[in-house]
């Protein structure tokens, strides 16, 4: 029987008591084992998720020249539009077959990347920003649960992400057509950069997670579940106790279907020290396996590696 991801119910965390402890243990074990789990009971209305995908579809159907008005290469496209074929996976020169929009929190700080919004569709800002705010609030709960599992105060990881550069990425994988570049896939195998990622159920299957033996676990596109995984920064901080697991989005069997997905990449502030902590080094064999580096330098280094910065 094919392996599936563990399912954790956020209502258990919110209930407190023994149910909260159960959630902490199940989530922690999943991140320690394979770095992924499916979250149910998250409370985000499925209709609002569907609406976000509808406005995304309307935006990405605009002509390229209209979309490119919102490209901001000068800030490494950390807000606004990124055209098709710009990003690639680390160590893979073939471009990913996707275009996307990125938005972050609205914060009154001239040194912080500012959101921009398209003039059409008219409901884009309301829908996407609403989803961002709901998911970011939920991400704080998940970081609190992870902190407790790791033996820390429940505000340990949430405090790192306070005013961090958390991004919601709205991704469009167009129909492949007949002239896709050789070796290119919708999203080549990679690991996420950040602390944790929350992926709202995609509009189609295609996401695969690498198991310990190198085989691939199929993840169903499902609005009822939010897929959660731990990223490289959390792996670095915990010296590999929490895994940052390789995953990919494969090409569909046909050349005519689009796919949309909306991952939220939860980032710490740039000044957060990601040096593996001594207690986690001790728990993972006694040797520091990852570098001493702050989050800002780590992020820039990885953006260069995937073609979004120079």
Domains along the chain with CATH numbers: 7-305 (2.60.120.330)
Residue 265 predicted with pLDDT over 90: yes
User: Is residue 48 reached through a cis peptide bond, with omega within 30 degrees of 0 on the bond before it?
Assistant: no
Give the Cα-Cα-Cα angle 229, 232, 238 (nearest 5 degrees).
90
pLDDT at 177: 67
Q: Would you say 41 and 10 are in contact if contact means Cβ atoms under 8 Å apart?
A: yes
Q: Are 84 and 302 in contact (CB under 8 A)?
A: no
Say what the pLDDT of residue 98 is: 87
Q: What percent of the chain has pLDDT over 70?
A: 90
User: Which DSSP category does 92 fall into?
Assistant: -
Instruction: Provide the 3-class DSSP secondary structure of residue 149.
Output: helix
88-123 residue pLDDT tens:
666 666 677 889 999 998 888 887 889 999 999 999
Name the pLDDT band for 255 (thresholds 50, 70, 90).
low
Residues 208 and 247 sit within 8 Å (Cβ to Cβ): yes
Please state which of the ranges 3-17, 22-36, 182-196, 292-306 shows the lowest mean pLDDT: 182-196
In the block, tokens 């980032």 appear at: 267
Strands 207-210 and 247-249: antiparallel
- Write down the pLDDT at residue 108: 82
Mean pLDDT on 254-277 = 90
For the ranges 34-38, 218-222, 285-289, the lowest mean pLDDT is seen at 218-222
Q: What is the pLDDT of residues 122-137, one digit of tens each?
A: 999 999 999 999 999 9
- Residue entry with tokens 């695969």: 208
pLDDT at 91: 63
- Burial of residue 18 (CB within 10 Å: 0-12, 13-18, 19+) is exposed
Q: How many residues does the chain have?
A: 310
More confident residue, 253 or 239: 239
Q: What is the pTM of this model?
A: 0.91
Whole-number average pLDDT of the chain:
90
- What is the pLDDT, as a whole number, of residue 276? 98
């Amino acid at each position: 029987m094919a392996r599936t991801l563990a399912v954790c119910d956020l209502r258990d965390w919110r209930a407190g008591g023994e149910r909260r402890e159960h959630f902490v243990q199940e989530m922690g074990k999943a991140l320690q084992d394979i770095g992924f789990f499916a979250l149910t009971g998250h409370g985000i209305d499925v209709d609002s998720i569907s609406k976000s995908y509808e406005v995304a579809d309307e935006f990405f159907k605009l002509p390229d020249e209209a979309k490119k008005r919102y490209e901001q290469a000068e800030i490494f496209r950390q807000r606004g539009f990124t055209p098709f074929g710009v990003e690639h996976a680390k160590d893979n020169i073939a471009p990913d077959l996707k275009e996307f929009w990125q938005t972050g929190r609205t914060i009154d700080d001239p040194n912080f990347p500012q959101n921009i919004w398209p003039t059409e569709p008219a409901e884009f800002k309301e829908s996407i920003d609403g989803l961002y705010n709901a998911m970011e609030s939920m991400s704080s709960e998940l970081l609190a649960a992870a902190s407790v599992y790791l033996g820390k105060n429940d505000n340990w990881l949430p405090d790192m992400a306070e005013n961090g550069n958390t991004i919601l990425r709205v991704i469009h994988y167009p129909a492949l057509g007949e002239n896709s570049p050789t070796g290119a896939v919708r999203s080549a195998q990679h690991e996420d950069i950040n602390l944790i990622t929350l992926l709202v159920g995609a509009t189609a299957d295609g996401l695969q997670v690498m198991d310990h033996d190198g085989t691939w676990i199929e993840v169903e596109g499902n609005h009822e579940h939010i897929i959660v995984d731990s990223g490289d920064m959390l792996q670095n901080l915990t010296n590999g106790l929490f895994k940052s697991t390789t995953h990919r989005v494969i090409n569909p069997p046909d050349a005519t279907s689009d796919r949309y997905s909306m991952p939220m990449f939860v980032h710490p502030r740039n000044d957060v020290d990601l040096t593996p902590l001594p207690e986690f080094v001790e728990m993972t064999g006694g040797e520091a396996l990852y570098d001493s580096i702050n989050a800002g330098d780590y992020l820039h280094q990885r953006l260069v590696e995937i073609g979004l910065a120079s």
